[in-house]
Every structure is written in C-alpha cells, then in structure tokens.
Amino acid sequence: MPMLTVGDKFPEYKLKASVGTEKGKEFTTISTKDNAGKWLVFYAYPKDFTFICPTEIVEFGKKGGDFADRDAVVLGGSTDNEHSHLAWRVSHPDLKDVKTPLVYITPAFAMQLGILHPQAGAAIRVTYIVDPDGIIRWVNANDLSVGRNVDEVIRALDALQSDELCPCNWRPGQETLGAA
C-alpha cells in the first residue's frame, strides 16, 4: 500500500505503548478515541537501540510543552513492541525521563500507513500532523540515515493552525498571505 499523504484519513488506532519506567505503570493502550478533537503529531522511527532515533525521541520529549500548548498530542514509535521500548528506556540514560509515549506500531498498522520499509522490515522515518477531524495535513519522510527537525514540525503545526496562507520560512508573528 502506498504511504498515506496529505488529505488522507489517518487510520483508527489502538496501540500498546511504553509510557515510563515506574514499576506497574510502564504500559498503556492508546486509541483514537483517547485523542479525539485534538491535533495529532505521529512519528515513526526505524528501530529501538539505534543511534539517530533517541535524539529524535529526546527532542520531541523536550518540546512536549510546546505541542501541548498547541492542543497537540505527540505519539512516537517503531515496529518494535512495547517491551522493547521499555527495555530501551531503562537502558538508555537519555530516554529514562522522556514523558511522551513510545507506541508499538504493529506491522498491520505500519502497512495501513504505508510506512513499512521493504528492505529494512521496519518503519521508515516519517512524521504526520493530523487535524482534529482525523485528516492528514502534513507529512515528512526522511531517509533512515537522517534525523528529523522537531522545530520544523512545530512550525508546520503553527502554520496549519493559523488558517492562513503561510509563505516559505514563515514563523508565528510574521505576515501571512491572507486567509486560506
């Protein structure tokens, strides 16, 4: 299946997630209905226990308040299961305190999104911004060797929420080109 893109409906989901390292509170299940009426930033990374992926997870974690201020929920994950995510959180010093959930992107869900890398057998490095109606409004996909820019995700979210025509390199507070 081709990768879902701008204008497509983001699929319904019910995903297991690692949410922390506190005994008895390590896991939860997150579904579409849990985030109804909110913007969703959904990012996939290739694999746990790699080198680029934790830099992205940490940055999304650091910017968690910025996303919350924009009424956006951040979910990130890979095709590794929630137990692998927990083991990685416990063993990686930078991931121990990250508050954002790491979801298990099941192979079936990865195929629905069209993000399963055919050679690697893992999710490609992709970010979706989904509006409160469940419509994909922004997509960014990177080569497996290139980390994403979380500040650009926030800038794109700001532009989408402005309901304005936003020119190249636009930032909040700058002039737009009028109503979208």
Is residue 42 within 8 Å of 76, Cβ to Cβ?
Answer: yes
Strand boundaries in 60-155, DSSP class E:
72-78, 102-104, 125-130, 136-142
Task: Give the pLDDT of residue 3.
Answer: 95
* Catalytic-residue membership of 168: no
Three-class SS state of 153:
helix
Q: Which domains are seen in the chain, by residue range?
A: 14-148 (3.40.30.10)
Instruction: Provide φ and ψ at 126, rounded to 5°.
Output: -140, 150
Task: Give the pLDDT of residue 179.
Answer: 85
Find the catalytic residue in 19, 44, 53, 159.
Answer: 53
Mean pLDDT of 100-115: 95
Reported as a single tens digit per residue, the pLDDT across 38-59 is 999 999 999 999 999 989 999 9
- Here the tokens at position 25 are 């509170």
Instruction: With 0.75 as the threshold, say if the pTM is over it.
Output: yes
Mean of per-residue pLDDT scores for the chain? 94
Q: Which helix (H) or strand (E) holds 139?
A: strand 136-142
